[in-house]
Amino acid sequence: MRAIVYTRQSIDKAEGIDRQKARCLALASSRGWDVLEVLEDNATSATKTRGKGSAWDRLLRSDADVVVAVNMDRLLRGQADLLKLVDSGLLVATVEGDLDLTTAEGKFRAELLTSLASFETRRKGERQVRANESRATNGMPVPGKRRYGYKPGNVEAHPEEAPVVAAMFQRVLDGESIFSIAKSLGWRTRRVRETLTNRSYAGYVTRKGEWFTADPRVARLVDEKTWTDVQTLLADPSRKTSPGNQIRFLASGIARCGVCEARMVHQSGNYRCKDHLSHPTIKAAMLDEALKWDAFTLVASQEAQGGEILTLAAELAELVRKREVQQDMATWPGANLASIRKEVARLGTEIERVESQLAALRSSLIAEDVAQALRSEMTDEEGADWWEAKWKELPLESKRQLLAGLHIRVFNGRGLDRVEVTRRTQGDSSPRTPQSTSS
């Protein structure tokens, strides 16, 4: 008789598979069978599909006469698997007893054992669901994949990863962008955002979309206020510093029309007002060269930018909430629509004001991050020649992040005297002087 040994287990533990192999090989040896192959479906639960390329699939296509397994639970998942095994023509020998699937009695016994195995699988699943619900409501994490920052089980803080997570939250509070955090860690920006928005780090566990306060034994990597403050900042629409995904020109979308404040975009070698063809236009090469030296002034000035981003973000969220309340009141019977419209308009103006302040402050902080990194490379002797070489080396994204710390307006006229550049702060700085323009 030619035999094939089949093993399966739900959890990836080598000793479990090894024990099954030893028992099956001992049975085959006692019968005097030739073992053609030993197959294993490791970490394959009783409810997981064993499709093409799996050990089960290879078993069904085997030239063996008999399949050897520890018991029917390891071999079959349900009636569908039993029918496939019958069709294959293989005999079955298990450590717990043989089955001859070519006879009616053998098929009946196999069907009965398979039904019992399916019942036990479903009952085990129900017990696991109840256990998970109980763990969650009692504040303990549900068993699953290890979360970054925690040891296996997601209860104890990981000594090396937990400080990284805490630092990520603090970096956002300090005004740093998700892009720069991801770049420094070598992560995708999506992973950084998912980490920062995961409430589990503030001491919560989740089950079916519902959050529960974690047991005191579960490590808090950040406090709840820090987590909430970071969510407020991440919801701030002014965090986006680039108007598009594939910007190819230095000042595109950053420079503004001095007449209408619309963005200026690159077209045919020029920067033009996006909204009006009759508004200011300037040669792209001319403006780019001038802005190179404005960026140098920003780097060399040693004037760090800062501000109350969190306060402004919270103010913006409250204004938006108040506007939504007013809009909802408009649907009430007998509502004073004229008064509501007036209040909605006032709130809209306030929202625009705060959004503008947030955008300016956010841009200045991002620019300051880049400027600080460049300052660390400067010496007292390094000046124009150093900056010329450094500017050529800088990637376009870094150049644009520097310029995001400036408010650039182009007015009607000729030459560079019509270009005004001020720092992006909550208050206006002095415009660029002719000397800095011609540097």
CATH of the domain at 33: 3.40.50.1390
Q: Is residue 75 part of a domain?
A: yes
The residue among 205 and 119 whose pLDDT is bigger is: 205
Is residue 415 a part of any domain in this protein?
yes
How far is residue 320's CA from residue 163's CA, in Å, rounded to a whole number? 34
Could you give the 3-state DSSP secondary structure of residue 370? helix
Separation between Cα atoms, residue 355 and residue 53, nearest integer Å: 56
Contact indicator for 82, 92 with CB cutoff of 8 Å: no
* More reliable by pLDDT, 403 or 410: 410
pLDDT at 349: 86
> Mean pLDDT of all residues in the chain?
78
Q: Work out the end-to-end distance of the chain between its first and last CA atoms, rounded to an integer number of angstroms.
A: 92
Is 86 within the bounds of a domain? yes
d(CA 232, CA 236): 7
Mark whether 201 and 68 lie in a shared domain: no
Which of 77, 109, 131 terminates a domain? The answer is 131
Give DSSP secondary structure letters for 43-86: T--TTS---TTSHHHHHHT---SEEEES-HHHH-SSHHHHHHHH
Is the model more confident about 156 or about 314?
156
| Residue 246 resides in a domain | no
C-alpha span between 259 and 86 (Å, rounded): 82
Q: Which two three-digit tokens encode residue 177?
A: 């962008």
Asked whether residue 209 carries a pLDDT value surpassing 70, the answer given is: no
CB neighbour class for 10 (10 Å; exposed up to 12, middle 13-18, buried from 19): middle
Q: How far apart are CA 418 and CA 404, in angstroms?
A: 20
Query: Do 70 and 190 lie in a common domain?
Result: no
Nearest to 135 by CA among 214, 75, 194: 214
The domain total for the chain is: 3
Question: Would you say residue 375 lies in a domain?
Answer: yes
* β pairing state of 256-257 and 406-410: parallel
Element spanning 312, H or E = helix 309-329
Instruction: Establish if 144 belongs to a structural domain.
Output: no
Task: For residues 415 and 342, state if they share a domain.
Answer: yes
Predicted confidence at residue 394, as pLDDT, reads 85
Kindly state whether residues 98 and 210 are assigned to the same domain: no
Q: What is the residue range of 410's domain?
A: 256-437
Whether residue 211 sits in one domain with residue 262: no
Is residue 410 in a domain? Answer: yes
Q: What is the 3-state secondary structure (H, E, C) of 263-309?
A: EEEEECCEEEECCCCCCCEEEHHHHHHHHHHHHHHHHHCCCCCCCCH
Condensed to tens digits (0 to 9), the pLDDT of residues 214-257 reads 888 889 999 988 988 888 888 765 555 444 456 788 999 889 99
Weakest-pLDDT range from 8-12, 296-300, 405-409, 417-421: 8-12
Residues 213 and 286 reside in one and the same domain: no
Entry field: residues in the chain = 439
375/290 same-domain check: yes
- pLDDT class of 157 with cuts at 50, 70, 90: very high
Model pLDDT, residue 425: 57
Tens digit of pLDDT for each residue in 270-314?
Answer: 999 988 888 999 999 999 999 988 888 877 775 544 446 677 777
Asked if 182 and 75 sit in the same domain, the reply is no
Q: In what order do the strands lie in the sheet with 406-410?
A: 256-257, 406-410, 419-423
Q: Does residue 148 sit within a domain?
A: no
Residue 261 shares a structural domain with residue 349: yes
What are the phi and psi torsion angles at 361 (to 5°)? -70, -40
Query: So what's the pLDDT on residue 429?
Result: 35
pLDDT for 379: 67
Is the alpha carbon torsion for 10, 12, 16, 17 positive or negative?
A: positive
Residues 267 and 322 in one domain: yes
Three-state DSSP class for residue 345: helix
Same domain, 226 and 278: no
Q: What is the pLDDT of residues 104-151, one digit of tens each?
A: 666 676 666 666 666 666 676 666 666 656 666 677 887 778 889 999
List CB contacts of 9: < 8 A, sequence separation 6 or more: 16, 17, 20, 41, 42, 43, 44, 74
Q: Percentage helix, strand, coil, to 5, in the chain?
A: 50, 15, 35
The verdict on 214 and 274 lying in the same domain is no
Q: Which of these three, 113, 131, 149, is where a domain ends? A: 131
